[in-house]
Each structure stands twice: as C-alpha cells, then as structure tokens.
Amino acid sequence: METAFKSIAIIGRYMSPASLAQAHLHTQAQAHAQIIELVAHLSAKKIKLCIEENTALYTGLSEHRALLRYEAFSIDEIGQHVDLAIVLGGDGTMLSAARAIVPNNIPLVGINRGRFGFLTDISADNMLPAVDEILAGKCSIERRMLLSAQVIRNGELVFEGCAFNDIIIKSGLRLIELEVYIDNQFVHKQRSDGLIMSTPTGTTAYALSAGGPILHPKLEAIAIVPICPHTLSNRPIAISSASKIEVSLVQAESIHLSLDGQIESTLQQGDKVVIIRAEQTVPLLHMQGYSYYEMLRNKLNWG
C-alpha cells in the first residue's frame, strides 16, 4: 500500500520499572503490548520508524530490536526525523508530545490509552485499521492553537514556555490577589485561588471543572476562568486570541505557574505573567467522519 507518510514517530505512554510497582500491572502490560504490536505492524511496511527512546526502553521494544526496524531518538529530537507522529496514551501523553515536536510542525495522531481522550480520539481496539486509513491519506487535518507565557520579574524575563491546553496561576495555600489587564486595559482586581488562561482545546480540561465555557477548537479565542473567586460576580470571559493578557501578582504566597499541568515555575509577589497566542500551531490528524460534537457527546455522556 502506498502511504502518504514515509517516516513515522511512535511516542507511547510508558512507565519505568519503579513506577510499574505502583501501577496496575495487567493494564500496563496491555499498553506495552499494543505499542509493540503497532511497531511490528508498521515495521512490515516500507516506512522509516523512529521510536521515542524511553518508549523503546520501558515498553520492552529494545528486546525485539533484531526483529523490528527502528531508530530511537529523544522526545526533543524525534520530530526532526519524521513527517508524522503517532501517540499512544492519554491526553497527558499527547500534550507533552505536542509541545516537544511543535517546532517541527509535524502532524500528530492520537490513540487513546487514557481515561477521557479528548485529544487521542482513535480507540486502541481499532488501532491498526485506523492507522492504515490515515497512512492511505483518508484523514483530515486540524490546526490547534497554543499559548505562550512569559514571567517578568523586576523588569527581567525569568521564565517562558508554551501550553497546548492551559496556563494556570495558582496557590495551594490561600487566596491570592491578581490584577488582570487585556491589551493594556485594566479589567479587574481579583481575589481567588487562581486563574486559568485556556486555549479552545483546553476548555474541556481544568477550565471546564472550574465552570468555564467549552470553546470549539476552530474559534480564535482564549478563555479566562477564575478558580474559586472570592466574589461570585467574577465570571469566566472569552477574548480574542490576538489579545495580550497581563496578570500582576499583587498579593501572593507559595504561588506557581503551570503549563498544561506538566511544567511549573515558582512565582513571587510583584511578578507579571504575560500570555499571548503562540506563533506555532499543533496539526492534529483525524479519521474521516470525525465529529467534535460526537466526541463531546461520548466523553461527557451527553444525552
């Protein structure tokens, strides 16, 4: 079969031996077996295979190196060698993979091995036929926006990063006081447990639990959602993705900046966090017939 992709990366949700001791062994063994099954399936085709090095190490792939044709690369390097990435895991695996390879503009396909799978929409049970359809070009591409965050302290840049889902300012101890500006215009001063700035993709994550709206991924918008505001009139707001958000920490103790719940930076009183839309986008591939509304209906158990 002639494929639309000549080189493919496999990035899986793996667990180290130390972590496996705390996990459900049968579930993890099944996940590892599916990764090996996918690699064997693709290895039989005329496709260059690149495996994320920890995926190869901890899933047992390295034990089959003599039979399976592949090269191993770190998560930061792998996007330089392929034209498609297949991610097996949950949304967390997809988030970390997307951030790592976003500079390479590589499309991603998600195979769900997690709980919800808002981003990994292919069922693990339908993995091989679905991958074959995508390799044959029977798929659609959707570009998702990212957010970029900078932390300014005493006029100097001390941290920057990007997020696929959300950027969160939060304290685990007590209420914090924030001043919010949008496009250099003062919006309000807020006392709350924190603040979520979410892409449309991230509005089905923490922002949804905090009472925020669901934004369709094609909307050019950012959702700003307060976490447990002290004043009940503080409500979520959706703004243009072209806007610049500035959050000043007026009063804060033990406060953190979180990117996708996976990268953290410690903040201090007086810091300013600047959030804008990132220049890069994440290309996601979906099977033909994919419906965002059907996905919501199934994941959220709508009637």
Which of 76, 83, 91, 125 is flagged as catalytic?
91
Which residue in 55, 47, 52 sits closest to 73, CA to CA?
52
Which pair of tokens denotes residue 9? 């990366």
122-131: long-range pairs with CB below 8 Å, 24+: 122/287, 124/34, 124/88, 127/34, 127/37, 127/38, 127/88, 128/37, 128/38, 128/41, 130/287, 131/38, 131/41, 131/42, 131/86
Whether 260 sits among the annotated catalytic residues: the reply is: no
With a CB cutoff of 8 Å and minimum separation 6, the contacts of 277 are 145, 146, 147, 148, 222, 241, 242
Q: Which residues are catalytic?
A: 91
